[in-house]
Every structure is written in structure tokens, then in C-alpha cells.
Structure 1
Amino acid sequence: MARRVFAVFVLSGLCQFVDSLYHHQYHFVNESKEWSEAQQYCRATHTDLATVNDEHDLAQLASLVDYGVPYVYIGLYRSWGWSLSEDDDYKEGEPAFWNWASGEPMNHFCGSISSTGEWYATDCNVRMSFFCYDGFAADISERFTFVDLPLDWLSAQAHCRNMHTDLARVRNQLENALLQSKVGSLVWFGLTRMSWMWSDGSEPTFVPWEPLKVQDAGLGDYAAIDVDSSHLGMIERSSAEKRPFFCYSGKQLFMP
């Protein structure tokens, strides 16, 4: 009987230890800042803007805020990146290559490449031809496939993932020049601003949006928690807004 009680005690302690490793120590900063300013503050005084992994984290953050504070920034933000699928040959830490045209990217969420080799942010609903790629093609000349079939960006992505690896991802000037040589007008490739990332570099697996309030607010590139709502959740906000924010301390030892 004593052994059984001891085993239960040890198991309970271990679960609490693992739980404490997984969940961060959060800090509510009741100072109104733009998202980028809040990020700088958190990185200077703690670890980073807060990440949220589950309902436990969400409730813990809400408990730190006094009633009457509607929106509080967290570390979730939208940024430009490449469409990546399970069969992609992307390697973490690869140097980034960018070739935006002057004044770009504008306020659209999908990327296209022009006959000059420059990149443009384009309305995702426009129907255009597109480039797919095969991630493990040994010869660079066989890596990219031009598909002369006008589709919107998401449909082009689905086609490429079904027939190849994904929409084309450009890693360097040589690959960009190869695509440019096959382009007569704007053509879709795999660049997109529809994905979200955490400020500390981790990928989100738990994102409880509030759909109605996202529609009311319009599209924004930064996420806040609506703590003054009957249904606790996240909402998009614009970069110009100044809001209080959550930081976290400690390393994320268990990646989602």
C-alpha cells in the first residue's frame, strides 16, 4: 500500500513538473504600445511576447488582466513566407532571398513574379498561370514546372501539391532568373502572407479565433486576446493600434 501511494505521489509530481515546463510564466504589461514596440520590450525585459499553446494558457493570460481591458497583444503575427508542404525539402535556417519590386509588398496576401523577375503582392482571387516545383529534383532545370492554367492562388497551390511538391519556392538569384525566363506576365508562385507565426519563431498549433470579431475588425497582421468577451479568444488587430500586452519568461522546452 505504501509503495502504491509513493508511486502515485511521484507520478503526480512528475506531471506537475512537465506541466510547469510546458507552460510559460506570463507577465501582463499595462502600457499601450504598438505590436513591434511591445515585442522589443518583452525581449529586453523577459523572453518574448506571449505564445499560447492551449486553453490552459489562454485562461492563465486572461486571469492576469483587470476587467475593462478589451484587447491585449500576444506574440502571434502574420508575415510573408513560402507555402510549405510535408514533402518540401526546406531546411530550417536557410538564408532568405527576397526580390520585391519597388514599393512592394502592398496590401495583398499572395505573391506573384513578373517578367522582370520582381515580386508583387497580388489579390489571391485573381486567376493566373503558376509555377510548381519538385522539391527533390537533382537538376535545377527540372525543379520548376510552368502550368498554363489560370487559377486563383489557393487552387494553384492545391494543384501543385497534388501533381508536384508545392507552388514554387525561390531560394536564390539563380532560381529567380530561371522562373523569370519563362514568364510573360504576372504568374503565381509560393509566396504568401496568409500564414501566422509566433514572435519566438515557433509555429502555432492552437489559434482560437473569434470569427465575428475578425470580420468586424477587418484584416490585421497582429493578434490580440479579447479578454473582455464572454467567449475568450483571439482577434486580428492592425499595426497602428497601441495596446497593453503579454510577455513570457522561460524557454519553450516542449515545441508544439
Structure 2
Amino acid sequence: MEKACLLIILLRSGGLSTLTPLSREYHFVNQTVSWTVAQNYCRANFTDLATIYNSDINQLFVSMANRINDWAWIGLYNDRYSWKWSMEGKLFYVGSTHEFLIWANSQPDCVNAKEYCVALQGQTQMNDRPCGDSYPFLCYNAKNTSYILVKESRSWSEAQSYCRTYHTDLTSIRSKEEKSNITLTLNGSGVQYVWIGLYRDPWAPWSDNTTSTFTNWAYSQPNNYNSVEYCGMFNLMTGEWADVFCGLRLYFFCFTGEVQNANTVRSCHHVKH
């Protein structure tokens, strides 16, 4: 594989949206593979799939591809099984075989890429829902270890604010005992959906476990078409992003370096003969 590198200096006055990494070197790999294979390749040969921190790096990637009319993988991934509790804010995995956190059938599915908050459905099963939807909600009061069902419908963030003002927070389910107590609280309530404190940040973190405030989604993107699009791809002609099925075979961008504040990056092209 032949490599050619171009040193590019990003000016400090460029209005960067987030801190750029120290001496980060970017690599365009001219092979088409799935997102997972691209991630494994980048981690084996460089550091990881690339994170885009600002418009300068976004435009750099367009120039590196030399006008190829196609798409490429970046480190953008929408992990539908990584969630946080409102009370704790730490990421943890909630898969289909969790001991006491049970997803409803075919959940989570992140319909239209808009479902990032969780409601209990039928008192015991979880369903990801749009955070702006209005449902009753369940607060937790740590002073007397009680669960309070509020039947007034509110959005998830409004429910969180209410619980934090009048109690402790939206309820968490961290043990079989807590789940049993919540089921007893909801028994006979007649509510179809009720908010709990489970949520996630969309499209964060990136593959290298960093976050970026910069986005460049194409029109109507992301949309999670057919609820199977959880990886982010980069248009090599326009620099716009879209979500797509992770098994698609695309070119990809890797990086070498650490995540620190600096103003210098290097771009490299890797061509397979």
C-alpha cells in the first residue's frame, strides 16, 4: 500500500467548534469495507476511525478524496444499546438479554432517528420514544425511598425537571428489587406509557470515544430508514453526512494521534494496488 502525506495547518482564528487534536494525522483508505471492518482496520493500523471536529477538517476530507463521487465511513456511530440514567449520567449497555431491563418486542428501534428517551410500556417493558412526546412519568424520592407516579403528561425533559424540583429525579431501575417496587407502584394505574430516567445522547460518542459539537447532516438526515441505519457516512464530493446500514461497503477515513488541543493535522492517502 503506497502512502502520500500532506501537511495542513489549521489557523487558530478559524473559528473551530471544538478543540482539535494535537498533531493528528488523517488517512483516506481507498478500499471498500463495512463500518466494523473499517473500524478494526483503523484500530489495527492507525488509532481509530476519524472524528470530525469542525468545518476545516470536514473540508479537508473532501480534498483528500480527490473528487471521488462516492461515500466514506467516519467514526460516527449511533449506539442504540448505550444508555444513561438521569440520576447518574454514566453510559452502560442495555442489550436484549439484560437481567431485569427488558425491551418490548423489536425495541429499541430509534424510529426516524428521533427516539432517545425511554418509557415503560405496560408497566414492565421498555420502549424508546421521541423525547418530546408527552406521557405520565415516574419520580424517585431518595429521602423516603419512594416512587411517585405523576399522571400529568409532560415531555421527558419537563418530567425530569419536575422530578428534580419536587423529589430527587426520574426513577432508575438498577435492581430486581427496584423493578418490583416500580411494578407495584404502576399496578392498576391504567397508563400505557410512563417516562423513566433512561436516555441517550444521539450519535455520541464517536468511535474513538470522543464527542464533537460539529455536524454536517444532509437534508432529511439522519432518518434511520427502516430502523437499520446506525452508522455515519461522509459524501466525498460535498462533505455532507448521512446515516446508513453499517454493512454497506465504503471507503473510510482513519486517524493517528491523541485527542488534545492543537492546530496542526496531517492528511494521508492510502492506495491499494
Q: Same fold by TM (over 0.5)?
A: yes
Shift of 1:75: 0.7
Single out whichever of 103-112 and 55-64 deviates more from structure 2. 103-112
Q: Percent identity?
A: 24
Aligned to 1:243: 250
Determine the C-alpha separation between the residues in 1 that align with 2:236 and 2:159: 40
Q: What is the rounded CA distance, in whole Å, between the counterparts of 1:191 and 1:89 in structure 2?
A: 10
Matches within 5 A, 1:117-196: 117-122=124-129, 127-133=134-140, 137=142, 141-142=145-146, 144-151=147-154, 155-161=155-161, 163-164=163-164, 167-184=170-187, 185-192=192-199, 195-196=202-203
User: Root-mean-square deviation (CA), in Å?
Assistant: 3.5
Q: How does 1:48-63 map to 2 (within 5 A)?
A: 48-63=48-63
What is the Cα deviation at residue 84 of structure 1? 6.9
More helix by share: 1
Check whether the contact 2:131–2:156 (CA below 8 A) recurs between aligned residues: no
Matching residue of 2:270: none
What corresponds to 1:28 in structure 2?
28
1:161–1:102 distance in 2 versus 1, CA, 3 Å: closer
What is the CA–CA distance in structure 2 between the aligned matches of 1:253 and 1:41, rounded to whole Å?
23
Aligned residue pair count = 225
Unaligned runs of 5+ in 1: 1-11
Structure (1 or 2) with the greater strand fraction: 2
Q: Aligned-pair distance for 1:107?
A: 2.0
Task: For residues 66-124 of structure 1, give each alpha carbon's deviation from its aligned partner in whole angstroms, at most 9, with x where no partner exists.
Answer: 32332211111112344677xx543x5x7656523375424232422245633233466
**Alignment CA distance shift 1:158-1:52 (3 Å):** same
Q: Distance in 2 between matches of 1:129 and 1:169?
A: 15
Partner of 1:5: none
User: Does structure 2 retain, via aligned residues, the 8 Å contact 1:104–1:120?
Assistant: no
Q: Does the aligned pair in 1 maintain the 2:230–2:246 contact within 8 Å?
A: yes
Distance in 1, Cα, partners of 2:156 & 2:181: 20
| Aligned counterparts of 1:163 and 1:216: Cα–Cα separation in 2 | 31
| 8 Å CA contact retained: 2:49, 2:75 | yes
Q: Which runs of 5+ in 2 are unaligned?
A: 1-8, 13-18, 263-273
One-letter code aligned to 2:221: V
**Could you tell me whether the CA contact under 8 Å between 1:196 and 1:204 is conserved in 2?**
no
Partner of 2:102: 100
Mapped partners of 1:119, 1:233: distance in 2: 34
Counterpart CA distance in 1 for 2:73 and 2:127 is 29
Deviation at 1:190, TM superposition (A): 3.2
**Residue 200 of structure 1: aligned partner:** 208
User: Aligned pair in 2 of structure 1 residues 244, 119: CA closer, same or farther (>3 Å)?
Assistant: same
Query: Structure 1's 217 and 78: CA in aligned 2 closer, same or farther, altered over 3 A?
Result: closer
Point out which structure has higher relative CO (alpha carbons under 8 A, 6+ apart).
2
Closer/same/farther in 2, CA of residues 71 and 138 from structure 1, 3 Å limit: farther
Letter in 2 for 1:250: G
- Decide whether aligned partners of structure 1 residues 173 and 217 sit closer, same or farther in structure 2, where only a CA change above 3 A counts: closer
